[in-house]
Structure 1
Amino acid sequence: MDPEQGQDERTVSELGEFGLIRRVTEGGSRARSTLLGPGDDAAVLSAPDNRVVATTDVLVQDVHFRLDWSSPHQVGRKAVAVNLSDIAAMGAVPTGLLVGLGCAPDASTELVDGLAAGMWAEAETVGIDLVGGDMATSPTLTISVTALGDLQGRPPVTRSGACPGDIVACAGRLGWSAAGLAVLARGFRSPLAVVGAHRVPEPPYAAGPEAAEAGATAMIDVSDGLLADLGHIAEASGVSVDVRTDWVEVPQRLSEVASALGANPWQWVLTGGEDQALVATFPEGGVPAGWSVVGRVGEGAGVTVDGAEYEQQSGWQHWRQ
């Protein structure tokens, strides 16, 4: 929406399905990977590698976000970021986005404009487009984003390649989103750096392809918690992983927030999700610059902390009672 035209006070039902689709998908610059953008039955993207990496995430209001905690713009950015981090975790670079949106008929166009602006803002950080999507009536605000990526000639970095003797390293922040969630749940809105980390994650997009180039043997993004996601690597690779707390940094800001809330910052760092950091395994001596060593891969199975089983819940799972 052009701000010079004033605020559009229509609802999405007044705007109509196709007007809503145009409102979300139009307005960004055309990326080189977009050969045919929105407006036809399907978009057409270039695939120079002859392979396409694809991933989808669904965000549901009051499960993944709350509009009294986050603005529509922040929710839009988060919806894109959680998908692009999956592309990076495969060692790929993003090429395009498809968006599905379900909302109530009386939802305001202001809400949709905010979501779309946030999606475009995050997409533009990696130079890609929203190339298409679909809209549907839904009693609950639901956002589904499909991200596509290009491996640029490299093999994908899967969860199943870790080997005993490999080094475990992380790129990006750990525990910040969980700390922000704890702050918001107590009714506070500051410190802004911590709360902002929950509202909008900052995945290290470039670190994924860099890890692939460096010879990463396995990789995953930290969406459910460091221990939980390392558990996926351990299971898929048939190995054990030991996280060393003397190698993991707890930022001073998180320690201060934990002290104020009577919480344990280690719980946030080890089990907090939604920072969308990347964690990967590398051969000895192969960890690239910008990655922090946090543990080792060994024989056996499962994930331990300092050689012992972690006693508390290791991360987020849907439907767990």
Structure 2
Amino acid sequence: MGISGSDAAGTTIGEASEREALRRIFPRLPESDATLVGPGDDAAVLAAPDGRFVVTTDMMVHGPDFRLAWSGPEDLGWKAAATNLSDIAAMGAVPTALVVAIAAPPETPVAWLEGVADGFRLACTELAPGCGVVGGDLSVSATLTFAVTAFGDLGGRRPVLRSGARPGDVVAVSGALGRAAAGLHALFTEAVDAAGEPDASRLAAVVAAHPDTVSAQLRPRPPIGDGPLAADAGATAMLDLSDGLALDARRVAEASGVAIDLDPAALGPDLRTALTGGEDHGLLATFPPGTRLPGGFRTIGAVHEGRGLRVGGRPFDERGGWDPYLEWDGRRG
């Protein structure tokens, strides 16, 4: 499924110069409150009042990460922003700026890239006000690819690492569990043709039947503001739930040298999807006992002496999540 659409002049990126494409995209991008020198120079200059900055990067590639049959340009701009904003929040920082690189097929309409820019603006406005796009790069490729780098300000807080969980801590999560995976399952079972290939003509019906879960997959809404709140409340460890609760909770346990025991009753009726479904982009954190949980955090388990992941007191040895090197089969995004 290729990129479709056209603008008034029918101009594609293969016909327009990079300068012309950027001229049209720049006005649509969100501005950053931290910008001292913005897009248009060799590099941006950002204010860092804390004296430190948090930085992360993430890629989205057509095929393993999204399908053009299901995701429009605004969806993709939104998701590319959200997945990076959540990593910044997971360190306890406030997102300040994004750098965006896009490689797209030459037949891509410039208007389609404008839609992507609109998606970035909408996501930043809703999820992280004051964060904006301060630069990036455009190129051509047979495979549509996004590479986004995000920056954040700790505001005097200590960074919350994966390695600080301690026995006795409470395990808590902010955001839904398994909802994005349920949306992806609906797309792959109901928005496909007879051969099992993604079918755009079926999308509207699937969205109407599963609005919450499909939206969670195509336009995730991570609880960005809860990251700094968790840091202020004394969170001992935290990370973004991008690859599945079981896999990500095990990462915290391994980094901290502890055992994490998740309570099945707290994970909802579809336990397996909650444990193994990825792309929720909620926040998993541990807090000292007795902490009043901030924001949307709720208790889902506890930290104990030992090693590894347990569910209801029993070892959970399945990988339980997404690893692009070990199990890519094209069935993501």
The answer to whether residue 168 in structure 2 is matched with residue 165 in structure 1 is yes
Kindly tell me: are residues 313 and 214 of structure 1, through their superposed partners in 2, closer, same or farther at Cα, counting changes over 3 Å? same
Distance 1:53 1:70 in 2: 29
**Which residue of 1 is the match for residue 143 of structure 2?**
140
Cα RMSD between the aligned structures? 1.4
**Which residue of 1 is the match for residue 285 of structure 2?**
280
Kindly tell me: are residues 8 and 211 of structure 1, through their superposed partners in 2, closer, same or farther at Cα, counting changes over 3 Å? farther
Among 252, 266, 269, which residue is 1:247 paired with?
A: 266
Identity %: 46
Distance 1:22 1:237 in 2: 48
CA displacement at 1:308 relative to structure 2: 1.1
1:111 is matched by which residue type in structure 2?
W
1:37 is matched by which residue type in structure 2?
G
**Which residue of 2 is the match for residue 315 of structure 1?**
321
Distance 2:58 2:123 in 1: 15
Distance 1:65 1:110 in 2: 20
Distance 1:60 1:28 in 2: 21
Q: Runs of 4+ in structure 1 displaced over 2 angstroms?
A: 18-32, 247-250, 309-313
For residues 184-234 of structure 1, the C-alpha deviation after alignment (integer angstroms, 9 at most, x for no partner) is 001241311111111011100000000000000000010000110011111
Does the CA contact (< 8 Å) of 2:96 and 2:153 recur in 1? yes
**Which residue of 1 is the match for residue 246 of structure 2?**
227
Distance 2:267 2:313 in 1: 14
1:219 is matched by which residue type in structure 2?
M
Among 271, 276, 279, which residue is 1:271 paired with?
A: 276
What is the count of residue pairs matched by the alignment? 302
Distance 1:286 1:22 in 2: 50
Distance 2:317 2:232 in 1: 36
Helix, strand or coil: the match of 2:67? coil
Kindly tell me: are residues 22 and 299 of structure 1, through their superposed partners in 2, closer, same or farther at Cα, counting changes over 3 Å? farther
Helix, strand or coil: the match of 2:315? coil
The answer to whether residue 117 in structure 2 is matched with residue 116 in structure 1 is yes
Q: 15-24 or 164-173, which moves further after superposition?
A: 15-24
CA displacement at 1:161 relative to structure 2: 0.4
Distance 1:8 1:159 in 2: 50
Gaps of 5+ in 1: 1-5, 251-264
Distance 1:199 1:168 in 2: 27
Helix, strand or coil: the match of 2:252? helix
Does the CA contact (< 8 Å) of 1:158 and 1:218 recur in 2? yes
Helix, strand or coil: the match of 2:149? strand
**Which residue of 2 is the match for residue 258 of structure 1?**
none
Helix, strand or coil: the match of 1:219? strand
Distance 1:41 1:240 in 2: 47
Distance 2:15 2:146 in 1: 20
Among 233, 236, 253, which residue is 1:217 paired with?
A: 236
**Which residue of 2 is the match for residue 179 of structure 1?**
182
CA displacement at 1:312 relative to structure 2: 4.6
Does the CA contact (< 8 Å) of 1:49 and 1:151 recur in 2? yes
1:292 is matched by which residue type in structure 2?
R
CA displacement at 1:69 relative to structure 2: 1.2
For residues 10-62 of structure 1, the C-alpha deviation after alignment (integer angstroms, 9 at most, x for no partner) is 01021222222333333345432111111111111110001010000000011
CA displacement at 1:249 relative to structure 2: 3.0
TM-score by length of 1: 0.90
1:276 is matched by which residue type in structure 2?
H
Gaps of 5+ in 2: 1-6, 192-205, 328-333
Distance 2:272 2:24 in 1: 41
Kindly tell me: are residues 51 and 185 of structure 1, through their superposed partners in 2, closer, same or farther at Cα, counting changes over 3 Å? same
CA displacement at 1:124 relative to structure 2: 2.0
Distance 2:248 2:291 in 1: 21
The answer to whether residue 31 in structure 2 is matched with residue 26 in structure 1 is no
Does the CA contact (< 8 Å) of 2:29 and 2:118 recur in 1? no
**Which residue of 2 is the match for residue 149 of structure 1?**
152
Distance 1:309 1:7 in 2: 59
Does the CA contact (< 8 Å) of 2:261 and 2:303 recur in 1? yes
TM-score by length of 2: 0.87
The answer to whether residue 221 in structure 2 is matched with residue 208 in structure 1 is no
Distance 2:24 2:168 in 1: 51
